[in-house]
Structure 1
């Protein structure tokens, strides 16, 4: 699942062999090297989550977090209006307009039988 705005490109993937969910947020300017990454979902089901397991790549323009469970991330994307990804002194806001049906499709793919 991908969402692109001027401020960021957000890509959410799932690898069933892990299983492993990954969110990658690419920005025009580099992310700082910081101890903690967080994302705040603003809206009717506001929520903030954080981790210290982020990695940087692409000249520090892509911040990636992987985990075996992403329920809070999927709920945050589907049930809120905006998200603010932050680390160090850098914060990037992006819209969640239209995310709910996309998250439903993403979740449906996770439930699909595999060969």
Structure 2
């Protein structure tokens, strides 16, 4: 399958998303290693949540801030900023679980 991509802008970038998660967990008594593990887990979970809201064969390439999809696919994706907000909300409700799993890997 041949794919193409569309630039999504800074709000969909790895730096923007991870900085947001660092800000969200800031104030906890975590080591730098623990913070990095938690933020990585939160970011990966958010990408999964966001992609679950997208049409099939659409993927968020967070490291390049792009949406990848099949060439010629004109499926409506909806309001991507709203989907991003929904993905953050979903992860916030699962934060204790994700945090516990991430901390277990750093022990």
TM-score (norm 1): 0.27
Structure possessing the higher radius of gyration over alpha carbons: 2
Q: Which has the higher contact order (CA 8 A, sep 6+)?
A: 2
TM-score (norm 2): 0.28
Choose between structure 1 and 2: higher helix proportion.
2
